[in-house]
Amino acid sequence: MPGMLKSRKDVERVREKAEKGLNQQKVRAMVCAGTGCLANGSLKVYEKLRELVSEKGLLVDLDMTEDACGEAHPNGNGIGIAKSGCHGFCQMGPLVRIEPQGILYVSVKPEDVEEIVEETLIKGKAVTRLLYQDSPSGTAVKTEDSIPFYKRQHRVVLANCGRINPEDIREAIAMGGYHAIAKALDEMTPDQVIQLINASGLRGRGGAGFPTGRKWGFAQAAKSVKKYVICNGDEGDPGAFMDRSVMEGDPHKVIEGLMIAAFAIGADEGFIYVRAEYPVAVTRLKKAIKEAREYGLLGRNILGSDFSFDITIKEGAGAFVCGEETALISSIEGRRGMPNPRPPYPAAKGLFGKPTIINNVETLSNLPSIILNGPAWFKSHGTETSPGTKTFALAGQVVNTGLVEVPMGFPLRDLVFEVGGGTRTGREFKAVQIGGPSGGCLAKDQLDVALDYESLRKVGAMVGSGGIVVMDEDTCMVEVARFFMQFAQNESCGKCVPCREGTKQMLALLTKITNGEGTEEDLELLEEVALAVKDGALCGLGKTAPNPVLTTLKYFRSEYEAHVLEKRCPAGVCQALKAYSINPDKCRGCTLCAKACPVGAISGERKKPHNIDQAKCIKCNTCVEKCRFGAISKE
């Protein structure tokens, strides 16, 4: 059991001790244990690494160094093996990062472990075949920092993700964790904290971009003995996973951020609301909170100050609308997660009727470094009106998928083509969807937009939570709009008429169009309904639900017209608008397609051209994929 930390100096002492312990490790292998790499089997790699290194008697853990007071490996050749949070490069997992060289091994399998131990951990040499292969040049890239995916990133929020063991508070403290709250408690007043955050220009990273310091100011001014702070970890946007990665990879940063917010507004109780779909994040946060309590960083009179604070985790139960702050409050209170009209704003009357601040995971994770480095440092990144960095989740039909953090104002084109490496299918880039169901679809012509609040809003999209999904020419934009509307309709809570009925009608119109039954009047009606919902809906979910429709109508109108006027789906996606046929000249009668067809629509004799029964065909595309001779086409 650690001693309770009673002052800023105690925090410093823990840091020194942990650093000393980490220095015992001459080399250190960090195995990614984010959801992505876990799915690829990284735990087996981790276990094998530990097993082999401890067999050789070289394993040095922080616990061992603490007991042995730094005597574990006097000759200094100890090896550390730890699990880390998400490195961000999920596509290439399982990832293993070797410190201090910064070598990154990709797609590591348990069979590779022996070579890693012998060559890299003991002899200090890189294993070329496990390095990332840069496809255009065909060369192996040794260190993480020189991989194109990482090169242009600037990691502040994600700084520790992949660098520390999220399940050990000492590693977080060694990287400067809890130093910001110690500084705030030691030498600042709540007013000064708010002034500092105001001066930094930090804006909410959850979507709307409201200035964080101003929000706090309202809550601080509210007269109430009891106040609450809430961390919004209900990352419901499909295509976004940056908050999950921070909660999994650096939970102590989230906790420290929430403490800073609580101190600023005078709250003594906090909640972290996490989606039910993120079980790993829940486990890591629970462990982190437990550790923080053991160290006296949560509880009464933290670090010898008057500030007392504790955190409870609330697990969501699956409702997108709960990302909206008033709905989230209802959910924490144990009710249906439905939004309430604002005002009153939560800062005046929130959880259980008390003044409440709700900040997003990423917003909170920015706070410690702002406190430690000052507002000028924060403003040195990003743009005038959108300072700092922003994490984006890059996914879809792009070569490098994963988590990236770039300065605000970063050109979208560079993100897709340089960091993301362009489309992975070799097909041409068509669109990029930013900000999930609340965001918009941008076409090639909008690629030069800068990624900041104002620029994105101007083109009809929004930063939202930061999900970026790349689409190639195989994607039908009308179908994408229908997909998002289906999502919005499913998730509409039903409280207000514009959203409840409007999303339903828009979905019906979009379905009609994708079924090939749309008319020109439907396009006009669709736009009219979309604008009405945008104006009339109660909460952010409803107000932004028409965005995917409005942006696709604006930037991809020709595709809508092809569906409506020519009854044709240019991307060949909409099932009702395509028919499959077999080219008799190319078909060799191998029967593969007939066997694969789930509904038995293909018939024919062996070694003779086959036929498709259009009445039976469900247009699932399986036959096209099965055919080795390119004999089946869709039109």
Partner 1 sequence: MGKEMEQMFQRKFDKVNSIVDKHDRKVSNLIAILQEIQAEYRYLPEEVLTYVATALGIPRATVYGVATFYTQFSMKPKGKYIIKVCDGTACHVRHSEKLRYLVREKLGLDDSKDTTDDLGFTIETVSCIGACGLAPVVTVNDDDVYGQMTPEALTIILDQLISKERSEGSTGKAENGDECPARNGQAHELDGGKGCLGC
- Quick one: 32 exposed, middle or buried, by C-beta within 10 A (0-12, 13-18, 19+)? buried
From 635, 487, 502, 513, select the one nearest 571 (Cα to Cα): 635
Compare residues 193 and 327 and give the one whose CB is closer to partner 1.
327
Compare residues 467 and 518 and give the one whose CB is closer to partner 1.
467
CB of 84 to partner 1, least distance (A): 16
CB of 169 to partner 1, least distance (A): 24
CB of 476 to partner 1, least distance (A): 10
Compare residues 312 and 380 and give the one whose CB is closer to partner 1.
312
Compare residues 316 and 498 and give the one whose CB is closer to partner 1.
316
Compare residues 385 and 575 and give the one whose CB is closer to partner 1.
575
CB of 351 to partner 1, least distance (A): 9
CB of 483 to partner 1, least distance (A): 6
CB of 597 to partner 1, least distance (A): 10
Q: How far apart are CA 259 and CA 270, in angstroms?
A: 8
CB of 475 to partner 1, least distance (A): 6
**HEC secondary structure over 359-412:** EEHHHHHHHHHHHHHCHHHHHCCECCCCECEEEEEEEECECCCEEEEEECCEEH
- Quick one: 122 exposed, middle or buried, by C-beta within 10 A (0-12, 13-18, 19+)? middle
Spatial contact of 374 and 199, defined as CB atoms under 8 Å apart: no
Residues in the chain, total: 635
DSSP state of 485: H
What are the strands of the beta sheet with 356-360, ordered from one edge?
A: 310-315, 269-274, 228-233, 356-360
Q: How far is CA 43 from the centre of its chain?
A: 21
Helical axes 190-200 vs 212-221, angle rounded to 10°: 150
Compare residues 64 and 313 and give the one whose CB is closer to partner 1.
313
Spatial contact of 42 and 162, defined as CB atoms under 8 Å apart: no
The count of C-alpha atoms lying within 13 angstroms of the C-alpha of 477, restricted to the half-sphere facing its C-beta, is 28
How many other C-beta atoms lie within 10 A of the C-beta of residue 592? Answer: 16
Compare residues 260 and 416 and give the one whose CB is closer to partner 1.
416
Compare residues 120 and 360 and give the one whose CB is closer to partner 1.
360
CB of 276 to partner 1, least distance (A): 5
